[in-house]
Amino acid sequence: MSSSGVPMLTLPLRVLPPVGLGRGRARLLVERNVIAYRRGWIFLVSGFFEPLFYLLSIGLGLNHLVGHLAIGGSSIPYTDYVAPGLLASSAMNGAIFDATFGIFFKLKIAKTYDAVLATPLGVRDVAIGELAWSLIRGTVYSIAFLTVMAALGLIASWWAVLCLPAAMLVSFAFGGLGMFGTCYMRSWQDFDLVSLAIVPLFLFSGVFYPLSLYPGWLRIVIMVTPLYQGVALLRGLDTGVLGPALLVHACYLALLGATGLVGASRRLGHLLLP
């Protein structure tokens, strides 16, 4: 047997006074994810490159073949057209992965949240903390992508400084939505639904070409999907083609993220504190 005594005596720690317990500790979930990713940083870093490769491939490779596109009365090169769309999908990708696979693993497989809830933290801390993490990851991707866009001279307007908060809204929306959906998933098989949603969104939400190519009814269907809202918002800001519609897009995304957060919070309470 080890000779070490019980450390209770050697270092008596007083638990902090119970002020604000169960509130405002969401940042600890973020701290957890930072520590967890210290060994898996390559997952974080590599995730950024996929949209970048698409930008260089489809954006640059097809630039000459597509030529110029008309937007808001002016005509812009195809690369300029596709870049903000890919920024939106980068923000989506950055947020969605941890909000779905990551949360499911912690919720159902590793039972990480069961352990967390045995501490002073509450479900709301868990929901806010995890969404904050998704948002941070999405934001980091967005900053990196915007930097590349600037370096390639793809930023056409000063309004583009608003692209970062707008991209964060996209991350917020998809993070909240992903987290909410994940709370209802039963097994890994259900995650086919995630890519079944993400891949068509990526391909058909106007990232690569205007919706005017679609028949009328399909256009309306796509316009209510969240990625389209993000693409439209970012493209408007990046190209400087503004209008009140941009505010509508922003409100839509904010509302979606908030709904996801509240819903996920409730559902997590049901699941974890029966």
Partner 1 sequence: MSQRPRGPSDSFRHGPLAVSTSDEGAGDSAGTAVQAQGLTKRFGEFTAVDAVDFDIEVGEAFGFLGANGAGKTSTMRMIACLSPISGGTLQVLGLDPMRDGPQIRSRIGLVPQDDTLDLELTVRDNLYLYGRYFGLPRKQLRERVEELLEFARLTERADQRVDPLSGGMRRRLTIARALVSSPSLVILDEPTTGLDPQARHLLWDRLYRLKREGVTLVITTHYMDEAEQLCDRLVVMDAGRIAAAGSPSELIEQWSTREVVELRFEPEGHQVHGERLADLAERVEVLPDRLLLYTDQGDATLDAVRSRGASPIAALVRRATLEDVFLHLTGRSLVD
Partner 2 sequence: MSFFPQLPSAVATRQRRARLSPALRAYQYNLLAYKRTWRGSVTTTFLYPVLYLAAIGVGLGHLIDHGSNQAVGGVRYLWFLAPGLLAGTAMQIATNESTFPVMAGIKWLKTYLAMLAAPLEVTDVLYGHLAWILTRVALASGVFLAVMAAFHTVPSGWAVLAFPAAVLTGAAFAAPVMAFSATRETDQSFVVLYRFGIVPLFLFSGTFFPVAQLPGWLQVVARCTPLYQGVTLCRGLVLGHLGGWDALGHAGYLLAMLVGGVLAARVTYRRRLVQ
Q: Are 84 and 206 in contact (CB under 8 A)?
A: no
Work out how close the CB of 70 gets to partner 2 at its nearest, in angstroms, rounded to a whole number: 11
Cα–Cα distance for residue pair 4/6, rounded to 1 Å: 7
Closer to partner 1 at the Cβ: 64 or 114?
114
Closer to partner 2 at the Cβ: 69 or 272?
69
Q: If contact means CB under 5 to 8 A according to the sort of partner, which of partner 2, partner 1, none does residue 46 touch?
A: partner 2
DSSP label at residue 215: -
189 binding partner 1? (CB under 8 A): no
User: Could you say which residues in the range 13-32 bind partner 1, by CB under 8 A?
Assistant: 13-16, 18, 21-22, 25, 28, 31-32
Cα–Cα distance for residue pair 105/165, rounded to 1 Å: 29
Work out how close the CB of 76 gets to partner 2 at its nearest, in angstroms, rounded to a whole number: 13
State the binding string over 32-61 for partner 1 (x if CB under 8 A, else -).
x--xx---x---------------------
Which residue matches tokens 């583009």? 160
Joined together, the tokens standing for residue 132 give 């904050």
Joined together, the tokens standing for residue 161 give 């400084």
Joined together, the tokens standing for residue 176 give 């909240």
Work out how close the CB of 201 gets to partner 1 at its nearest, in angstroms, rounded to a whole number: 28
Closest of 135, 60, 152, 65 to residue 94, by C-alpha: 135
Please give the radius of gyration of the chain, using alpha carbons only, rounded to the nearest integer.
Answer: 21
Q: If contact means CB under 5 to 8 A according to the sort of partner, which of partner 1, partner 2, none does residue 67 touch?
A: partner 2
Q: Are 23 and 125 in contact (CB under 8 A)?
A: yes
Closer to partner 2 at the Cβ: 21 or 190?
190
Q: If contact means CB under 5 to 8 A according to the sort of partner, which of partner 1, partner 2, none does residue 195 touch?
A: partner 2
Cβ neighbourhood burial of 254 (10 Å; 0-12, 13-18, 19+): middle
Q: Are 182 and 270 in contact (CB under 8 A)?
A: no
Q: Residues 91, 92, 96, 116: which binds partner 1 (CB under 8 A)?
A: 116
Work out how close the CB of 32 gets to partner 1 at its nearest, in angstroms, rounded to a whole number: 5
Closer to partner 1 at the Cβ: 29 or 177?
29
Q: Are 174 and 99 in contact (CB under 8 A)?
A: yes
**Site residues for partner 1 per CB under 8 A:** 1-2, 4-16, 18, 21-22, 25, 28, 31-32, 35-36, 40, 109-112, 114-122, 272-274
